[in-house]
Structure formats: structure tokens, C-alpha cells
Structure 1
Amino acid sequence: MCEARFVGTQAGAQRGRRLLDRVLAGVPRGESPLRHVRELPERPETSVPWPDWVSAGLRAAFAECGVSSPWAHQVEAATHAREGRHVVIATGTASGKSLAYQVPVLTALAANPRATALYLSPTKALGADQLRSVAALAVPEVRAASFDGDTPLPERDWVRAHSRWVFTNPDMLHRGILPTHAKWAHFFRRLSYVVVDECHGYRGVFGSHVALLLRRLRRVAQRYGSDPVFVLASATVSAPEASATLLSGVPCVAVTADRSPQGARTVALWEPPLLEELAGENGAPVRRSAGAETARILTDLVVEGARTLAFVRSRRGAELTALSARHALSEVDSSLPARVAAYRAGFLPEERRALEKSLADGSLLGVASTNALELGVDIAGLDAVVVAGYPGTLASFWQQAGRAGRAGDSALVVFVAQDNPLDTYLVHHPAAMLDKPIEATVIDPSNPYVLAPQLACAATELPLTDACLSAFGGAVARRVVDDLVADGVLRRRPTGWFWTSRERPHSAVDIRGSGGEQIAVVETDSGRMLGTVNPGSACATVHPGAVYLHQGTSYVVDDLDLESGLAMVHREDPEWSTTPREQVDISILSTVESRSFGGAVTVNLGEVAVTAHVVGYLRRLPSGQVLDQIPLDLPEQTLHTRAVWYTLSEPLLAEAGVAHRDVPGALHAAEHAAIGLLPLFATCDRWDIGGVSTALHQDTGEATVFVHDGHPGGAGFADRGHAALVPWLTATRDAIAACECPAGCPSCVQSPKCGNGNEPLNKPAAVSVLDAVLGALTARKGESPAA
């Protein structure tokens, strides 16, 4: 699979605007969902000659794939790597990042017949795509091969013995390569390059694990005498050199000037209308779902003959969007439904390849996909992209939007807001999406909940020494090692710290950040394991009676056994969904930073213990109507993590006009909206974080609002919120005030994950509270640290 390049045409210059006009023509009378339109100009390409060090044979191989000359940023990154500098190339979708690392790697492998290279990607699908790309170049004696969970056991021996460029993922590196590094001795001895693809995807707890995994990898390579150059590829992110350096553990230079061509794009921000005939929880107004609106837009674009990709947040959502579009198209032209399909994880590789090929060659006009098509897959020249709901980060949004207009023609990008505070804020504040710098990734390799198991794994691979601990965090790592010694996990000897057990810890360490052994979801009738869930969220997601979705199929949970790690389910497709009801308490363990503002507001960052108890669940119809509430008898669960919190004094609340009876609802509403808006300032999803608010907290003695990370030890999100507190709370206040609902709805202060059924909530009082807090923060400089 080679990287094809296309040139735009003048005829396509206004196509994006025409497609938007076609979509608007299909809007029912009386509705006005369009909130903002932005025309993004075309970007011309800057090509440069091949460097002298690139062989004629390699140039010819790329020419066969349609690349006669590289773009300037590709040569800049490749040259850094060729000259031994660790580099990150952070440019947009379809900017040819693959060539930037393929050229130096293939050059090195050709120059030294014994040299080797390692490629890491966050998904097996992306790794397979990149392997095919290298194979298509047909460079002799590279022997590129995949080594992942799908590689048959007999082939794994061949890969270890003969492959010179191994394509794998962090999971296999952690569990299948580093624990048996002696079998890979010849590979590590001549390891020249390590490629870390789509590195912006390594964030939060997963990213923190991968950062330490890369340090383990480098330590093992150095044990065998090599010191590989790291080449990282990323979507456009803020401060890529700092992010890449923190992730890889080596100083990286950044290449960020994108010199690839980009067609002009029309970007439309779209807010589905309120449904006057329906009322949601507590009588709140309900908007038409983003999925239903996306299906309608997809239908209009397919009728227009536009090749369209719709990104939907869930697997089931992708299936339902495609199904709805096919149904609507059947009433227009009987040949059109067959030209729309769904694409998601869970499909067989051959099914995915067929869909990708059909979309690329125009056989398919419309595809509804999860973010499985966001990374790496080479699909160029799409006429339109529809993004149903904010994908979590600006980097992901622009990555998805970049699928449109890749052939140099004008294209359409439509962002359809979901019914939540963040999406509502974005469509009413377009600069926050279209003009704001893309965020930096957030990882914390010093998190002791991540560092401890990673150091245990490292000790089984090679004994830990004082010298190597500096790469793992220095003094922080030494304290964790001392704790592991005290726990009897490691033993100190004159030459270092050694693992004490015969069993390796790798299989028990989940680098995806679940915090413990997974709960297996098993179909009762067949005994087939459908999947796994995080043990920390099991009570909320697979409690008895919960509706569990797997690859578009609904199951109902019969039983949850936390001790044995099993959730038994049966296949059923009820008309309702389930929402857990939860009681949450929070206690402060330690305060890392505290600052008082005039005695009226204190702002704090620290460690907390969050105790959650799922006490029941709601059964809810698609309309939002609640059928009933069913009690549950489940154990409490406690999470030790990081939080940011602020307190308000009684005089400040009185001055703000918030009556005593309204304080709980005001704080609760402000908490919900703040959780919804934090992803605008930290690379997280609202499901990565949680919150607690109370009119009188036992540890602070005042009205307090907490927002905490949802992972053991924290993932860096609360810290990022603390650092951006004023803009974060300003955006929160503006989102609540701008919402057109009278008393609170999912677009502003209601939360889909609220364990208290969104009660109590007081929208006007929340605005008053946030005005008071912001007034204190901006009017007074922080005083000396609070007691």
C-alpha cells in the first residue's frame, strides 16, 4: 500500500460550500441548527529534492508509489533521525509522516545488513497498515514482519530470528518482548531506530505506562550495546518536543511546519434542535440526538454523491447511524442503501480492508465509523466529514477533519454537537475550537500507581541500579523502590535491586490503566467471553440488570461476582438503557498546593480518597423518560487519586445572592458543568474524571467543589485543571449562562453519569457561584499558602 498524492482542481474549489447548502436545504422548516461557518483556505505544498544520502533505489521505490519528491517537513524530520537526533514530527492528517521515518530506517537497514528497527503503534490495525506500506516499497532484505497478539506462534519464532523491522504495539512489547529479551538478543544488539507512531494517543494513565515502557525498552537495548534513535510521529499538538521528550525519556527535536497540500475546507458548527414534544430527566428539555442528526446529514450528502465519513462516538452509534441512513436512502433510490456501511473495531481484518478499499475508490459513498478510522488508514480525497460529538481533544477533531479535502479539493466538515456542556459551549464559542492552539498531551510517569508495577517489571528484566533509576524519575523512583523492598517484592543486593518471585509481574500489569485485574464479561448460555471491563467501573457498568453493549449487540447482566472477576450476561435487546445511581464521598488525604484569595475562596490541589457506592440503577427510555429505579446491594469501592478543589466562604455566598437552600444545587450544577468543560483544557474525556460537591465538607469546613481524576494515583487531568483554573471556570460559567434552557438540561448542567439522578441542580445559582469565584480569583492576587 503506497502513499498516493493528488492535486486539487479549480472545479472543486467551492464544493464544500455547495455541499453545506445541500445539507441546509434538507433542514425542516422552522429549525436553524447552523451556529457558525468558517472557510479554511487551501494550503499549497512545498516539495524539496531528495537528500543526497537517500539511495537511488529507495527514491525509485517511492516514485513507484507516486512520490517523486518529498515535502520539506519530511526531509527535515528524516535528516534529524539520519544524523542521530531523536525527533518528533507533529503535522496534520495525510502529511506523509510515514515517509519521514521510513526513509532513515530503510536507509540504515540497507547500509548495515545486520541493523534492526522497531515500530510501535497504539493499535494492531494501524501497525498492519504501516507494515503493508513498507512491504509495498519492496526494499530488499528488510524482512519487515508483525509481532502482535494475532501472530501465530510458529511465525513468532521466525520473526525473532529473521525480521529486521518488527511491527508491534506497546502491549506486546510489555508482555511478549521485554520479558524474554534474551531471546531477542541479536535484535536488540543492533537496534538502530525505534518508531513511535501516533504518539499523541498515549495520554493519561496509558501514556504514563508507555512512557515507562519506553524507558524499559531503552535500558534493555543499552544492555546489549545499542542506543537507538527514537522517531515519534504525532498529530499536531502543543509543545510536541516537551511531550515527546517526556514520553520517550530522551531529548527530542520537533518538526511542526506542515508543507503538505491541504484543500480548502468549509467547517460548519451544528447544534441539533430542541424537541418540544419530549421532556427528559426532571422535565429538562431534550435535543435531537447527535447520532440522528448525523444520519440525516449523511443521507443528504450521499444523495448528493459526496464521499462522506461520519465519526460517531460508539460502536453501536456507528451501526445505528449507518442503519438510519440506509433506511432513509431506500426511500430515495433503491441503489443507494448498499453504498452506506458502518466501520468499527470488532470487524475481521478482511472486512475492514474491503470497506477501506470501497470508500477509497468510491464504491461506498458513506461510512459511519468509530475513531477506528481516525488513525493511520490511508483514505484520501473525501468530500465531507461529519463529526458527531466532540472526540475528546482538538487534536482528534482536526485529525478526523483532515480526512476531508485530502486530495486538494474543497470539502465540507460538519461538527454536530452532542447534548452536553462542552459541545454546547463549542458551537456557541467557535474560537475555542477553530482558533485555540491544540492541547499538549497529559502524562505523569511519576504516578506511584504506575511507577511501582513498571519498576517491578523492569527489575525482572534486569536488576535495578542507582544509575538506571534516574531515567525512571530519580528520587521519586527511589522512594517507590524502597516501598517495593518493604513489601517484599524487591530485594536489595550490592549490585542492585532484584525481583524476588519466580513469577513475572508483566501479565498482572495492565498498561491500559484499568487499575487491576479485568472483570470478564461472559455469555451465560455459551460460556463465550465477550470482553472485559475495568474493575473500578464494574459496579457502575456491569451490575445485575445493566444493559451491556458489545459490538452492536445488547446483553443484560445476570450476575456480577467481583471476587471471581466474572460478569454473566444473556443476549437481550430491551427498549431501555440503564444508568447507575451512586453515592459518592470524598476525603482529603494531603494537600500539595493551597492558595487563599482574600479569605473568600481557596484553591487546592492534592490527593484524595473517593468512596463510591452504587445503590441502584434507573431504567430509561430513548426519549429520556425514566421507567423506574431498582435498588442494588453492592460493596463500596475506594479510589485514591488526585483532585483540584475550591472552597467558598459563607459571606461570599451571601454576597453573591445565593440563598442557603440553593447552595447544594448551585455547587452541584457548577461541578457538572466544570467536568463537562475540563476536556477543553486537558486531553481527557469526561468519563476520565469525576466530581463531588457539598455545601459543607468535613475536611474544609466550607462549601466545596471537587473535580478528581478517575484513575488510581491520578492521570494529570486535575493538575491541568488547576493550572488553567480561571479560563476553565470562565468557560464553565459562559456555557451555563449561554444555554437557552430555563432551569438546566444536558447541554449545560445535567450529567449522563450523575449518580444522584441530577438532583439537586440550580442553574441560575451556579452562574452566581462561578461569578463569585472568578471575581475573587481575578480581583485579588493569591495570598500566602493557606493553612
Structure 2
Amino acid sequence: MQAVTSTALDPAELLHRLRARTARGEQSPITHVEQVPARDGHPVDWPSWVSPALIEALAGHGIEQPWSHQAAAATLANSGTHVVLATGTASGKSLGYQLPVLSRLLTDERATALYISPAKALAADQLRSVTRLGLDGIRPATYDGDTPREERDWVRQNSRLILTNPDMVHHSLLPSHQRWAQFLRRLSYVVIDECHAYRGVFGSHVAHVVRRLRRAAARYGGSPTFVLASATSGDPGLTASRLVGLPVEAVTADGSPRGGVTFALWEPPLLPDISDDGADMIQVRRSALSETADLLTDSVIAGTRTLAFIRSRRGAEVVASIARRSLNEAVPGLGSRVAAYRAGYLRDDRRAIERSLLSGELLALASTNALELGVDLVGLDAVLICGYPGTRASLWQQAGRAGRAGGEALAVLIARDDPLDTYLVHHPSALFGRPVETTVLDPSNPYVLGPQLCCAASEAPITLADLPLFGGDAAQAALDGLTASGALRKRPSGWYWTHRGRPEVDLRGTGGGPIQVVEEPTGRLLGTVDPESSHSMLHAGAVYLHQGVTYVVDDLNLEDAIALVHPEEPEWTTQARDVIDLSVVSVRSYVDAGPVGLFLGEVDVTSQVVSYQRRRIATGELIDTRPLDLPARELRTVAVWFTVSPRALEAAGVSPADFPGALHAAEHAGIGLLPLIATCDRWDIGGLSTANHIDTEAPTVFVYDGHPGGAGFAERAYEAASEWLRATREAIASCVCESGCPSCVQSPKCGNGNNPLNKPGAIRVLDVVLQSLADNS
């Protein structure tokens, strides 16, 4: 292994080195540098109730005193108060819940505790942390999908601190709660880590899993205290209370020290003008993936331990592959110090990568947000964020991965050629000095509540006394509907599940079990892909990347949930294209603003991947478009939409012939900018625009939640429509391109190949909408 000696560059010097790779005299890619100052810590004495054995064990690992926020949250939890600790990354939230939990387990040999995290890597990290303390009698153990069947009985019968995830609580613990009776009877604490990750439909499902857990524990006499940990978020107490269904007190004053952070906003340079026929000159920016790969390469050469966050699984593979190749060209063998990390890897592969990073064998990782959460990545110097991650909470969570030893750190946000990213790197006030978003979840979503009530009924009959736990009137209405449909049967003693098997409920909204990716020549299982992504990632002919190796998909069998691939190095990439149809089901609320109407309501969306394009890797040239025969998907969800009268558009200078392009461009930009307002990213939402929709009988732009029943994003857009659409209009108008580009109105997920688009028309459409809404206010 090629050794690299750390040069211990300070952030300013490292940033200068990264900047120096651009041509002399070229406009700097750095649009803004924010200096986040260092902060002194506020240590306090150990609370009197903390176990002396625990204090001694912590001292043996260099922890002499807790920080003020750790002691405050721990003391509340020890007194039986449900509490959420919402402080910054690397603030030591783990100790805030370890103190009450481990003290109770050490002083009461019968007590048990359950730790729930959204990611397996985080649970494994916590297991290492607790095991390192060497405390007798606690027997911590993970219980997740990677736990071998033969070990699960031992964990259930012997472990007093079980580390798991919501999926295992839902699929394993609760359906067989009778076997867990002793554990549940003695359950003292439930820790819910990284609770800000439970948003949208996933968060709504987890809220009911927690309620079912509370009901099961109460059945056996258990009444645990809930301790939640969260990144900084808007109103964490309210969010935590909505998640667990109980009053929760928030501790937000961060008493930990923090090294200074140099945070740079980086816009990749424009590429030279290119055209297909020498006529229409098109300027595009260098891809954020290529830019991030180069910055990662330069960081490794400088001896800087770096983590690059990439939005997609494929992107993480691409960045790691480019960086490895560049490093091996510079110093043979140096590329082995870089790896990709993402969901879908097999357990042994993930654990090997985590060990190599912790040991220093790996110097850099290109990772999806699988490493965004609190895995303790000690000693990282820099974080590269390839594309805005969708929320300010995630941005700061990712940036906080560096500088864990309290030293200075560098974070760089590399903008994608995307409306929101372009807007943010030129409007730093939208990122810095603003509070982070409130986590959005809605346990009353009928598409969540109904299936979860079926799960609860299959575990034990639902009684009238249970109704307040599951939502009161909303639960009663859902039970009536389930009874009428035959899913449940009502008897004097309660509502009963009527089927033999358990209800099939997908917590994460992925559409079912994962698709296995199998190398056809050898039969080797490479990894998995969620069903929702499989139509676009694993269709026949798709190019699929796995740990730096390129494969081509031979066959996708959805019925058997398997995709067969073979290794190949084609000279092209593939991109799926889809068609969407939308119909209005109902209107919940609307604003009549004269020529403009603003609506919120339910819609039915039908989408189908119908073809894919092949483009040359070197030039991006379109080779061909090939048809696909995949089933359509149906979705009932919530949408926000606006209509504009044709007369108003024509008065604003948009001719009828330009209606489709103007509305389409406004739709794309609106989708791109919505994450500025709502807790989502553009892959959580979809859209449709038309010059004359059959249901509205007017030019219309729809933006909808990409989850059954909605996830709260459309509601937020409706509530803040003027703010959202004003930012959208400004993003389009301020872009330097003439006719539209990926930085303003083109979309990477457009099923119509970004055609037609009319940038000037989009500005005029939004002017009409904004003026009408202002006149109506």
C-alpha cells in the first residue's frame, strides 16, 4: 500500500491548492467563502446519579467530564422525561443517551434498552463504542438484517442493550412480541438516534412503528423513557413529539467545543462552446461529478483525509473510479487509498470499507448519504459535497463529518448544473445564517395509517383504548374503512386482522423487496437495488456500476426480483426516459387570484419508463433511443398546482405556440427550487405541465409528492407559494444562458428530453402568477 504522509494543511491552504488547479486568469470557481468560527466547550461535573463504573470506563477513554448539553439531556432522561438532544454534528450526542441508559443497565441487572437508528452502519458504530467501554453484564448486540439467523435467538434472550433499526422492529420484533415479552417487560429506555432522518412517508411509518412498540411494551408492563438524538433542526421538540406520540422536551444549547470551519461554495467552470451543427452555440458547465473527482484526487495527493458526498449510487462509483485512475497515474498504487461506499453493498463489503477508513488504510471515500449520519469518522480533514443535499440540515450534517478532533476543517459545496445549486452558490444568504428546516412527517396520512393499523391488529386486537395512541378520529375513520373493505373484523372486544399472513408494509416506500443484481457468468450476487429505482437503473441494456466495475444489464425480472448483468466496458452511458399522466381527484384548498388559480389537492399519477438513451461517454453525443416494455406505475398523492388564463399569458407576451415550452421550463425550475422551501430534494417530487389540462381546462403546472398519500412537501409549497415561485423566477432570470440550460430550466430527470423549453416565456409566466398572488393578498 502506497503511504501518504499528512501535510496537515490548514483549510485556507488546502482551498488555495484546490483552486490553483484551474487555469491562471480564469474566473475563480469559488463564489463565496464562509468562515464558521471556533467555539469553546462548556464542561460540567458528572451528575450524581451516573454509575461510578461508567465514569471510570469513560475516563479510561479520555472522557473526564461531560459537556453541558450531554449532562442536561441525560439528567432529564434519568428522571423519566422524554427528551430530544438536538445539537450539531460531532457534539457528542451519543454520550447524552449513553449516560442514562448504561447507568440504568449497570445499577439494575434486570433492565433492558433498545437503540434504534436509520442505518446499519450507525448501529455497528454504536456497538463498537459501547463494547470499547468493557462494561460487565450489558452484552450489547446488533439485531438487524445482517444478523445471522442462528444468532438472533441468542440476542433476544441474552442481550440487555439491543441495537437495531425500525425495519427490524417492524418486521421481526413486533410480529413476534410474545417471544420478546421479557425484554419488553424490562424495557427502560428506547433511544431513537438521528431522528431528523425520519421524514416524509418513511418518518410517518416509523411514527406508527414507535406507537406499536409502546403498545407492545405496555402489554407486558413496560413503560420506557424515550431519548432522541437529532441534528439541529427547526422545532426539534415538536418533531420528536410527533414521532413518538408523547410530550418531548428539547435540549438545543450546544456546550461542545468546535473547530473553525472554512465553508466554500464552488461552481464548476463553463466548458468551451459546443454545437451539433455549428449554429446554436450551447454553453454548459463541467459536471459536478468530474469536478468532485478532481478535487478528491488533489486532496489525496495533498495527504488530506477526505470524504466526498455524492447524491446517487452511480455517482459515488463514478467519482471513486475517476479519482482512483487519476491517482494511479500520478503515483502508481495510490488509487487503492480511495473507495466508494453506498447502500446496496453486501454486509462484508460495507464492514471492510468501514474498517479500512477507521484504520487509515483508506484516505478518501466517495459515499452516498449512507455515511451522512453519526458514524464516528475520526480524523477527517475535509468534506466535499457534490450537489446540494436537499436540506440545510443535511448540508451541515455532511459538512460536520470533518474536524471531529476539534481541529480546523474544510467543507466545499460543489454545485451541480441545476437551478437550485446555481441559485445557492450565488445567494449564500440562503444557506448561511438561516435556521435549518423543520422535519416534515404526517402520521395521519391515510396511506400510512391504514396499513399500520392492520399491522397493529395482526399483533393484538385494536381496542377503543388504543385509538388515542394511533390518532383518535383519524384512526377511527381508518378502522371503519378497513372494516368495510374486509381487512379487519370488528367484534365487541376490538378490531381483528382477518388474514392468515401478516400485512405487507414497506416502511421506506421503496415499492417492496430489493432487486438482486447477479453476475450472470458466475452467479455471484453483486448487490441490491430498491424496486422504485430498478426501472431506471436495471432495465435491459442499462449500464450498471459496482465498486468500479462496469456491467451491462441483460435482463430485469421484476416478478422474481432479479437482474442479470455481465461485465462490459461500453463507450456509452444510459439514461431512462418516462412518460407521465396526471388527473385531479380532489381539491383541498385553493386561492382565486383572478387570472391565476393556486390549488392544493389529491391527484392520480401514472408513470412508465418507455425507453432509454445511449450517449457516448467522451462527448455526450446521443447514439440512439431504444424502446422498453416495462409496466406502468400508479400513484395517488398530493400536489400543488397553478393555472393561468390564456388571455393573461398572451397579455404578458407569451404566444399560444410558446405556452408548452414556457410552462415546461417553469415546472422544471419550480421543482428544482422547491427544496429551498420544503424538507425534500428534487428526487422526492415530480411535476407535469400542459397548455390545456383536461381537468383544469387551462394552462397548468403541477408539482406533486412522489410518495403515496403525499409527504408534506406539496403542502409546504402551497403555504409558501410566493416565496417559492419568486426564488424560481429569480433563478431563471439571473442565469447567464440565453435560451435555457441545466443551471436554470433543464432537468436531469425530464422524460421528454428537456423539450420543449422556453426560458423567456417561463419568466413571463411566473411574473403573471406572482403579480396576481400579490394583488390578491
TM-score grouping bracket, smaller chain normalisation: over 0.9
Shift of 1:475: 1.6
Q: Measure, in 2, the Cα distance between the counterparts of 1:302 and 1:551.
A: 19
Q: Measure, in 1, the Cα distance between the counterparts of 2:480 and 2:513.
A: 24
Shift of 1:697: 1.2
* One-letter amino acid of the structure 2 residue matched with residue 456 of structure 1: C
Matches within 5 A, 1:251-270: 251-270=247-266
Matches within 5 A, 1:147-162: 147-162=143-158
Q: Measure, in 1, the Cα distance between the counterparts of 2:218 and 2:196.
A: 26
2:304 counterpart of 1:306: yes
Q: Match for residue 436 of structure 1? A: 434
Compared CA separation, residues 534 and 411, structure 1 to 2 (3 A) = closer
Shift of 1:350: 6.3
| Offset from partner CA, 1:454-492 (integer Å, 9 cap, x none) | 111110111011221222122222222122212212111
Q: Measure, in 2, the Cα distance between the counterparts of 1:727 and 1:586.
A: 26
Q: Match for residue 24 of structure 1? A: 19
Q: Measure, in 2, the Cα distance between the counterparts of 1:364 and 1:569.
A: 29
| Offset from partner CA, 1:551-593 (integer Å, 9 cap, x none) | 5544434444555555544443422222233332211100011
Return the match for 2:744 from 722, 744, 748: 748
Q: Measure, in 2, the Cα distance between the counterparts of 1:436 and 1:770.
A: 26
* One-letter amino acid of the structure 1 residue matched with residue 86 of structure 2: A
| Contact map agreement 2:662 2:761 (CA 8 A) in 1 | yes
Shift of 1:520: 5.2
Return the match for 1:51 from 42, 47, 50: 47
Return the match for 2:509 from 504, 508, 513: 513
**Matched position secondary structure for 1:640:** strand
Q: Measure, in 1, the Cα distance between the counterparts of 2:19 and 2:336.
A: 24
**Matched position secondary structure for 1:287:** coil
2:605 counterpart of 1:610: yes
Q: Match for residue 401 of structure 1? A: 399
Compared CA separation, residues 90 and 576, structure 1 to 2 (3 A) = same
2:710 counterpart of 1:710: no
| Offset from partner CA, 1:94-118 (integer Å, 9 cap, x none) | 1111100000011111222111110
Q: Measure, in 2, the Cα distance between the counterparts of 1:515 and 1:344.
A: 19
Shift of 1:646: 0.8
Q: Match for residue 4 of structure 2? A: none
Superposition CA RMSD, Å: 2.4
| Contact map agreement 2:235 2:438 (CA 8 A) in 1 | yes
Q: Match for residue 419 of structure 1? A: 417
Shift of 1:220: 0.4
TM-score normalised by the chain length of structure 1: 0.93
| Offset from partner CA, 1:382-411 (integer Å, 9 cap, x none) | 222111111222111111111222222222
| Contact map agreement 1:61 1:137 (CA 8 A) in 2 | yes
| Offset from partner CA, 1:621-655 (integer Å, 9 cap, x none) | 33332211223344443211110001112232123
Q: Measure, in 2, the Cα distance between the counterparts of 1:301 and 1:776.
A: 50
* One-letter amino acid of the structure 2 residue matched with residue 297 of structure 1: L
**Matched position secondary structure for 2:135:** coil
Return the match for 1:69 from 60, 65, 70: 65
Compared CA separation, residues 200 and 415, structure 1 to 2 (3 A) = same
Matches within 5 A, 1:117-516: 117-278=113-274, 284-334=282-332, 336-345=334-343, 355-356=353-354, 359=357, 364-505=362-503, 508-516=504-512
Compared CA separation, residues 630 and 128, structure 1 to 2 (3 A) = same
Q: Measure, in 1, the Cα distance between the counterparts of 2:174 and 2:391.
A: 32
Q: Measure, in 2, the Cα distance between the counterparts of 1:331 and 1:159.
A: 48
Q: Measure, in 1, the Cα distance between the counterparts of 2:467 and 2:97.
A: 30
Identity value in percent: 60
Q: Match for residue 689 of structure 1? A: 685
Q: Measure, in 2, the Cα distance between the counterparts of 1:280 and 1:350.
A: 47
**Matched position secondary structure for 2:741:** coil
Q: Measure, in 1, the Cα distance between the counterparts of 2:706 and 2:281.
A: 30
Compared CA separation, residues 355 and 504, structure 1 to 2 (3 A) = closer
Q: Measure, in 2, the Cα distance between the counterparts of 1:585 and 1:356.
A: 43
**Matched position secondary structure for 1:140:** coil
Range moving further from structure 2, 247-256 or 285-294: 285-294
| Contact map agreement 1:280 1:624 (CA 8 A) in 2 | no
**Matched position secondary structure for 2:284:** strand
Q: Match for residue 543 of structure 2? A: 547
**Matched position secondary structure for 1:194:** strand
**Matched position secondary structure for 2:417:** coil
Q: Match for residue 3 of structure 2? A: none
| Contact map agreement 1:515 1:712 (CA 8 A) in 2 | no
Shift of 1:770: 1.1
| Offset from partner CA, 1:74-113 (integer Å, 9 cap, x none) | 0111011111111111111111111000000111112221
Number of residues of Structure 1 aligned to a counterpart in Structure 2 = 767
**Matched position secondary structure for 1:275:** coil
Range moving further from structure 2, 286-295 or 231-240: 286-295
| Contact map agreement 1:316 1:552 (CA 8 A) in 2 | no
Q: Measure, in 2, the Cα distance between the counterparts of 1:353 and 1:414.
A: 27
Q: Which runs of 5+ in 2 are unaligned?
A: 1-6
**Matched position secondary structure for 1:276:** coil
Q: Measure, in 2, the Cα distance between the counterparts of 1:409 and 1:531.
A: 37
* One-letter amino acid of the structure 2 residue matched with residue 496 of structure 1: G
Q: Match for residue 762 of structure 2? A: 766
Q: Measure, in 1, the Cα distance between the counterparts of 2:442 and 2:522.
A: 41
Range moving further from structure 2, 94-103 or 619-628: 619-628
| Contact map agreement 1:263 1:409 (CA 8 A) in 2 | yes
| Contact map agreement 2:340 2:547 (CA 8 A) in 1 | no
* One-letter amino acid of the structure 2 residue matched with residue 735 of structure 1: A
Range moving further from structure 2, 568-577 or 417-426: 568-577
Shift of 1:337: 3.9
